[in-house]
A and B are shown apart, each in its own frame.
Chain A
Amino acid sequence: MITQDEVRHIAKLTKLKLTEEEVVKFTKQLGSVLDFFGQLQEVNTDDVEETSQVTGLQNITRPDVITVDGNEEALLNCTPHKIENHSIKIPKVI
Chain B
Amino acid sequence: MNITKLTLSELSQKFQDGELTSREITEAFIKNIEDRDKDINAFVTTTFDLAREMADAADSRYQNDTLKSPLDGMPIDLKDVISTKEVRTTASSKILNDYQPPFDATVWKKLKNAGAVLLGKTNTDEFTMGASTENSVFGVTKNPYDLTKVAGGSSGGPAASVGANFSAGSIGTDTGGSIRQPASFCGATGLKVSYGRVSRLGTIPMASSLDTIGPIAKTAEDCAMILQIIAGKDEKDSTTSPLEPVNYKTFLEKKISGLKIGVPKEYIIDGIDSEVLQTFNASKAILEDLGAKIIEISLPHTKYAVPTYYIVAPSEISANMSRFDGIRFGTKKGEKDLEEIYTETREEGFGDEVKRRILIGAYSLSAGYYDAFYRKAQKVRTLIKQDFEKAFEDVDAILTPVSPTPAFDIGQNTEDPLKMYLEDIFTIPASLAGICGLSTPIGKSKGNLPIGIQLLGPAFKEELILQIAHQMQKSIQK
**Which residues on A are within 8 Å of B, measured CB to CB?**
2, 6-7, 10-11, 13-19, 22, 25-26, 29-30, 32-34, 36-37, 39-41, 43, 45, 48-55, 57, 60, 62, 69, 71, 74-75, 77-81, 88, 90-93
Chain B residues near A15: list those with CB within 8 A. 322, 325, 339, 342-343, 346
Query: Can you list 26 pairs linking A and B with CB atoms under 8 Å apart?
Result: A6-B363, A14-B322, A15-B346, A16-B355, A17-B346, A22-B352, A25-B352, A36-B307, A37-B311, A37-B377, A39-B307, A40-B304, A43-B376, A43-B383, A45-B379, A48-B380, A50-B382, A53-B239, A54-B209, A54-B385, A54-B459, A74-B103, A79-B327, A80-B330, A91-B335, A91-B336
* Contact pattern, B 293-320, Cβ under 8 Å of A = 1, otherwise 0: 0000000010110111011000000100
Q: How far is the CB of B413 from chain A (nearest CB, A)?
A: 13
Q: Which residues of chain B have C-beta atoms less than 8 A from A6's C-beta?
A: 363
B362:A62 contact, CB within 8 angstroms? no
B352-408 residues at the A interface, CB under 8 angstroms: 352, 355-356, 358-360, 362-364, 366, 372-373, 375-383, 385
Nearest A-chain residue to B375, judged by Cβ: A50
CA distance A53 to B310 in the complex (A): 16
A26 CA to B378 CA in the complex, in Å? 25
Chain A residues within an 8 Å CB radius of B99 = 78
Query: Are the C-beta atoms of B307 and A48 separated by less than 8 Å?
Result: no
Contacts of A11 in B (CB 8 A): 359
Residues of B within 8 A of A71 (CB): 102-103
Query: How distant is the Cα of A90 from the Cα of B338 in the complex, in angstroms?
Result: 8
Q: B377 touches which one: A10, A40, A90, A92 (CB < 8 A)?
A: A40
Pick the contact of A50 from B329, B338, B379 — CB < 8 Å? B379
> In the complex, A32 Cα to B364 Cα: how many Å?
14
- Please measure, in the bound complex, the distance between the C-alpha atom of A32 and the C-alpha atom of B195, giving whole angstroms: 30
Do A14 and B102 touch across chains, with their CB atoms under 8 A apart?
A: no
Give A32 to B359 CA distance when docked, in angstroms.
14
**With A and B bound together, what is the CA distance between A33 and B326 in angstroms?**
29
Contact of B380 with A30 in the complex, beta carbons under 8 Å = no
Determine the residue in chain A with the shortest Cβ distance to B103: A71
A33 adjacent to B195 (CB under 8 Å): no
Q: Are A40 and B359 also in contact (CB < 8 A) when A15-B325, A17-B343, A29-B417 are?
A: no
Contact B341 A90 (CB under 8 A): yes
Leading 10 A-B pairs by shortest Cβ distance: A54-B434, A74-B102, A17-B343, A50-B378, A80-B332, A78-B329, A45-B379, A60-B238, A15-B342, A17-B347
B343 and A16 form a contact (CB under 8 A)? yes
A19, A54, A92 — which one has the most chain B CB atoms within 10 A of its CB?
A: A54
Contact residue among A54, A75, A93 (Cβ-Cβ distance under 8 Å from B433): A54
Select which of A33, A55, A79 is within 8 A of B360 by beta carbon: A33
Q: Are B355 and A18 in contact (CB under 8 A)?
A: yes
Q: Chain A's nearest CB lies how many Å from the CB of B152? A: 21
Please determine whether A55 and B196 come into contact, CB atoms closer than 8 angstroms: yes
Cα-based distance from A33 to B346 in the complex (angstroms): 23
Indicate if the CB atoms of A49 and B239 lie closer than 8 Å: no
Q: How far is the CB of A92 from chain B (nearest CB, A)?
A: 8
Q: How far is the CB of B308 from chain A (nearest CB, A)?
A: 7
- In the complex, the answer to whether A10 meets B363 with C-beta atoms within 8 Å is yes
Q: Of B102, B196, B310, B336, which one neighbours A37 at CB under 8 angstroms?
A: B310
Taking A15-B346, A36-B307, A40-B377 as known contacts, 18 extra A-B pairs with beta carbons closer than 8 A to each other, sorted by chain A number, are A10-B363, A10-B366, A14-B359, A15-B339, A16-B359, A17-B344, A33-B356, A40-B376, A45-B379, A45-B383, A49-B379, A50-B381, A53-B239, A55-B195, A57-B242, A78-B99, A91-B336, A91-B337
Flag whether B446 is at the interface (Cβ < 8 A): no
Question: Contacts A16-B347, A16-B358, A32-B418 hold; do A91 and B383 have CB atoms under 8 A apart?
Answer: no
**Are the CB atoms of B376 and A45 closer together than 8 Å?**
yes
Docked complex Cα distance between A33 and B360 (Å):
9
A57 to B237, CA, bound (A): 12
Q: Return the contact of B434 from the options A33, A55, A78, A81 (Cβ within 8 A).
A: A55
Q: How far is the CB of B266 from chain A (nearest CB, A)?
A: 14
A13 to B311, CA, bound (A): 18
Instruction: Give complex CA distance A71, B104 in Å.
Output: 12
A10 to B417, CA, bound (A): 19
**Minimum distance in angstroms from A48 CB to a CB of chain B:** 4
With A10-B366, A15-B325, A77-B102 already in contact, the answer to whether A51 and B360 are too (CB < 8 A) is no
Question: CA separation between A60 and B237, bound complex, in Å?
Answer: 10
**Interfacial chain B residues near A40, Cβ < 8 Å:** 304, 307-308, 311, 373, 376-377, 380
Chain A residues whose C-beta falls within 8 Å of the C-beta of B434 in the assembled complex: 54-55
- Looking at A51, A71, A88, which has the most chain B CB atoms within 10 Å of its CB? A51
**Does residue B241 face the partner (Cβ distance < 8 Å to A)?**
yes
- Among residues of B, the one whose C-beta sits closest to the C-beta of A74 is B102
In whole angstroms, how far apart are the Cα atoms of A39 and B377 in the complex? 11
Question: Which residues of B in the span 228-254 have a Cβ within 8 Å of any Cβ on A?
Answer: 235, 238-239, 241-242
B385–A30 CB distance below 8 A:
no
Establish whether residues A16 and B376, one from each chain, have CB atoms under 8 Å apart when the complex forms: no
In the complex, the chain A residue whose C-beta lies closest to that of B332 is A80
B127 contacts the other chain (CB 8 A):
no
Q: Which residues of A contact B347 (CB under 8 A)?
A: 16-19
**Contact residue among A25, A48, A91 (Cβ-Cβ distance under 8 Å from B382):** A48
